[in-house]
Structure 1
Amino acid sequence: MLTMPVMIIAFLWMLLLGWGFHALLQRHLRLDETLSERDGELQAERQARSSAERALASTHVTLCKLARQQESVREAERQRIGRDIHDDLGQHLLALKIDLSLLQVSTTGAHPQVAQKVGTMIGHLDRTIASLRSVINDLRPLALAAGLPAAIEWQLAELSRLHGIAHELKIEPHCLDGGPDAARDGAVFRILQESLSNVVRHAHASEVAVTLSRSGTVLTMTVRDNGIGMPLCRAAGGNGLAGIGERAAAIGGCVAIDSQPGSGTLLTLSFPLIPTCIAH
């Protein structure tokens, strides 16, 4: 038989073991509660993140639509102004030219000096009409009626004719197989015009190369010149670059400028053939 001290010691060991198991069980339960709380917090964070991502996507779609609408309103206003100038001021200038031509014919024999002066006035008027036609074409480019590639080719030909800057154009076959898109083509053409205008005003270039290529559903246009380049502060903004960025955003695209002083400038426009706001 066990003696009393041994029984007491055994009882104390059993009591100690029971307390240890109880403590371990309590700790395990607390760990389970902590893990459950952390899991709930993670679920809440995931839901909040998912909601924020949906809100961000919705905001992006809204901004994209607003940008497209704004550009559409601008383009419609340009076309209206162009029509008004053509139908009103253009017709008045044409009538004035006819009157001056008749006056020149009637004074050629009797008043040669007057006829000569009238001839000079007709020359000034012809240049005014040519400038007016250029303004009208900038407001509503008729070249786009033949498609974006033809419009780009015409714009580059005008650049060479007016400013003596040689040009090179490379358009990959089938890059516009998706068909014409008035908003997209108009924005791309305006971006090209502004890019070439920057080349004329700032680059002091003698050559410009334009490429139009496609990778999947993304279309890319590059405009490269061999001019003096620009410092980083100018590459970040100004010179119409803000307007270029806005037009690119309106069609779901982006613009990158790569330029170093003395090394020319490369403008890269990339945009989806299906605008992201429509895709969403």
Structure 2
Amino acid sequence: MHITPTALLALIWMLLIGWGFYALLQRHLRLDDQLADTEAQLRIERHARAVAELALANAHLSLCQASKQQDSVRESERQRIARDIHDDLGQNLLALKIDLQLLHVSTTGAHPQIAKKLDGMMGNLDNTIKSLRAIIYDLRPVVLEAGFQSAMEWQLSEFTRMHGIRHAFTADPDALHAPEDVERDAMLYRIAQEALSNVARHAHATEVDIKLQRFGNMLTLRVQDNGVGMVELGNGRGCGLPGMRERVRAIGGCFAIDSLPGSGVVLSVSIPLTVAIPAH
């Protein structure tokens, strides 16, 4: 059979086109295989990431629960120490005061130096009893037994009486009706106490405003003053707040301090109402 040059050329072109289509098909199939492998790898990585995130969330919740239990133990220990001091040392000091009073009465008209010495001893003993009561109160704020709102109102009234700084306290009904939690209330009370102490010592403020609010499952305490701000205070801002910050963060809360020169300080603390470990 005789093949003309034109037919041969057409045959060659058909072979080249066929080979090209075949090469493109093979490349497309390889790309599909690579894409399938990539998608499978992504699925594996997504699953591994989901498992890691779940483990991290469970670890965080476990840490929150452990921190909460630690706070509960710490608060119980505070109350035990306060009771022991009150029942033992407090009673002994009271008995000593009564003995000194009786001694003072029985030596009336004796040598003036004896009466003067007894007066001095009784004065020192009264100061010791006052210091002891302050220590007991710091260990176990008795006012919290009447509720957080009453405790805060009492603390603020004493703050204004002692330092002459006006105060305002507002609380959302939802926040006041939150589930009762002694350790949480004690933490918020002590944070407010430390914040007010810093305002009195450093802020040169004339007003302080405290708000208690509830946002979903979080309870937020906000303390704001109209003082000089933190920039002008240097490092003298109290040593109690850093410890509070770590304790708040350990139970899944948020602790923030914001300030501008001459605009006062805003301290915000948010604490979860409940810390629960999900069932496995």
Q: Same fold (TM over 0.5)?
A: yes
Identity %: 57
**Which whole-Å CA distance do the structure 2 matches of 1:14 and 1:238 have between them?**
88
| Equivalenced residues, count | 278
**Which whole-Å CA distance do the structure 2 matches of 1:79 and 1:101 have between them?**
31
Amino acid in the other structure paired with 2:89: L
- Once the two structures are overlaid, the 10-residue window that deviates more, 133-142 or 100-109, is 100-109
**Which whole-Å CA distance do the structure 2 matches of 1:88 and 1:96 have between them?**
12
Q: Secondary structure at the match of 1:175?
A: helix
Q: In the alignment, what sits opposite 1:200?
A: 200
Q: Is the 8 A contact 2:175 2:214 kept in 1?
A: yes
Q: How does 1:66-81 map to 2 (within 5 A)?
A: 66-81=66-81
1:35 equivalent to 2:35? Answer yes
- Once the two structures are overlaid, the 10-residue window that deviates more, 191-200 or 139-148, is 191-200
1:82 equivalent to 2:82? Answer yes
Q: In the alignment, what sits opposite 2:61?
A: 61
Q: How does 1:26-175 map to 2 (within 5 A)?
A: 26-111=26-111, 114-175=114-175
Q: Secondary structure at the match of 1:180?
A: coil
- Once the two structures are overlaid, the 10-residue window that deviates more, 264-273 or 96-105, is 264-273
Q: Deviations over 1:159-196 (max 9, x none)?
A: 23333333221122242223311121121112112212
1:234 CA drift (Å): 5.9
Amino acid in the other structure paired with 1:247: R
1:93 CA drift (Å): 0.6
1:54 CA drift (Å): 1.5
**Which whole-Å CA distance do the structure 1 matches of 2:133 and 2:4 have between them?**
121
Q: In the alignment, what sits opposite 2:248?
A: 248
TM-score calculated relative to the size of structure 1: 0.88
1:258 CA drift (Å): 0.9
Q: Deviations over 1:119-149 (max 9, x none)?
A: 3432332222112111101001111111111
Q: Is the 8 A contact 1:225 1:266 kept in 2?
A: yes
Amino acid in the other structure paired with 1:102: L
1:270 equivalent to 2:270? Answer yes
Structure 1: stretches of 5+ with no match in the other structure: none
RMSD of aligned alpha carbons: 2.6
**Which whole-Å CA distance do the structure 2 matches of 1:6 and 1:225 have between them?**
97
Going from structure 1 to structure 2, the CA distance change for 1:279 and 1:163 (only over 3 Å counts) comes to farther
- Once the two structures are overlaid, the 10-residue window that deviates more, 53-62 or 21-30, is 53-62
**Which whole-Å CA distance do the structure 2 matches of 1:104 and 1:112 have between them?**
11
**Which whole-Å CA distance do the structure 2 matches of 1:226 and 1:7 have between them?**
98
**Which whole-Å CA distance do the structure 2 matches of 1:212 and 1:30 have between them?**
63
Q: In the alignment, what sits opposite 1:191?
A: 191
Q: Is the 8 A contact 1:198 1:239 kept in 2?
A: no
**Which whole-Å CA distance do the structure 2 matches of 1:176 and 1:211 have between them?**
11
Q: Is the 8 A contact 2:199 2:225 kept in 1?
A: yes
Q: Secondary structure at the match of 1:214?
A: strand
**Which whole-Å CA distance do the structure 2 matches of 1:231 and 1:41 have between them?**
52
Amino acid in the other structure paired with 1:20: G
Amino acid in the other structure paired with 2:242: A
